Amino acid sequence: MDINQLLAAMTPDVYQRILTAVETGKWLDGSTLTPSLRDNAMQAVMLYQSRHNIDAEHMTVAVGGEIKLKSKVEFKRDFTVDDIARFDHDQL
């Protein structure tokens, strides 16, 4: 299977599962990724992002393969006050 076939077959759900596995070092069933498998999965994530990541987050691969590093101001702007749950100390 070549790269284009791989990316055409990769659904957003599959991408998210592979991304989670790369981030945690484990598949959803709890089995551990070998270093070799983790490297391959990371490459698949980066390739998928390079084709589909229109709204690149801080430190991701954007469409076209460019690494996107958002500034602190840009990153903060992406989060609104409504996105954060706030509690008083006695509510915890």
User: Can you tell me the mean pLDDT for 67-74?
Assistant: 71
User: Can you tell me the mean pLDDT for 12-24?
Assistant: 93
Statement: residue 34 has pLDDT above 90: yes
Instruction: Work out the number of other CB atoms within 10 angstroms of the CB of residue 16.
Output: 12
Of residues 31 and 8, which shows the higher confidence score?
A: 31
Dihedral class, residue 34 (left if φ above 0, else alpha if ψ from -120 to 50, else beta): beta
From the list 64, 46, 57, 53, the residue with the least C-alpha distance to 6 is 46
Q: How many domains does the chain have?
A: 1
Q: What is the extent of the structural domain holding 39?
A: 3-91
| Cα gap 46→65, rounded to integer Å | 8
Of residues 74 and 28, which shows the higher confidence score?
A: 28
pTM above 0.85, yes or no: no
